[in-house]
Amino acid sequence: MDSAGNLYIVDSANNRILRFPKPFSQTGTQLPDLAIGQPGFSTGAPNQGGISATTLSYVTGGVNSTLLVGYLGFDSTGNLWVADPGNNRVLRFNANVLGAQALPGPSADIVLGQQDFITGAYSAPGNPLTSTSALNTPPASPSIPVAACLCPNPPRLSAAVFWSGTLPLPPHRWPPASSA
């Protein structure tokens, strides 16, 4: 749930996240007002239109695909962090693209676990999120909640890191470089 009271739910069967506007202060039928990971509410295939900053994949394999678990969470500034296990990455959706008038299929602005937004393949050992040792707490950090998805084929870890300290967390790099 975000700070405005909107509820976000991972709909892994349709490779998307749905936002329900303030469901606990409404009566009657609850309908989502935003789809993240899809261009709209009527599509559901993984990476609709090709892997990008606007797509999600919660499946692995081909004809006999396996449904993967997805996780999401918010950081202290309202940014949404999403584990995208089918693409071996974590995406951050800036709070600015999630406002009341948000358009369907918003773009992420940070990707972790991949070199760019259009790569989804697992690649060892260059992927920094392939082991839990990459999730060590840096010094002077008050807390770093982590949401993780362990994915079976191949074994890998997708993790969303919610930075609440004052140290900078540069895009595309985890753990942060140590200061000398």
Which of 7-11, 24-28, 85-89, 137-141 is the least confident region? 137-141
Whether the Cβ atoms of residue 79 and residue 94 lie closer than 8 Å to each other: yes
Name the range with the highest mean pLDDT among 82-96, 125-139, 147-161: 82-96
The structural domain count of the chain equals 1
| Cα distance between residue 48 and residue 3, in whole Å | 29
Instruction: Identify whether 174 is part of a domain.
Output: no
Look up the domain containing 144 and give its range.
Answer: 7-161
Dump pLDDT digits (tens) for 124-152. 554 454 443 333 333 333 333 344 443 44
The yes-or-no verdict on residue 163 having pLDDT over 80 is no
Higher pLDDT, 60 or 42: 42
Burial of 166 (0-12, 13-18, 19+ CB in 10 A): exposed
Torsion angle (degrees, nearest 10) of CA 103, 109, 115, 117: 10
Higher pLDDT, 63 or 164: 63
Quickly count: other Cβ atoms within 10 Å of residue 26's Cβ: 12
Instruction: Identify whether 146 is part of a domain.
Output: yes
Instruction: Identify whether 21 is part of a domain.
Output: yes
Higher pLDDT, 124 or 86: 86
Facing residues of 158 across strands? Answer: 149
The phi-psi region of residue 102 (left if phi > 0; otherwise alpha if psi is between -120 and 50; otherwise beta) is beta
Instruction: Identify whether 111 is part of a domain.
Output: yes
Q: Please give the mean pLDDT across all residues of the chain.
A: 75
| Model pTM score | 0.71
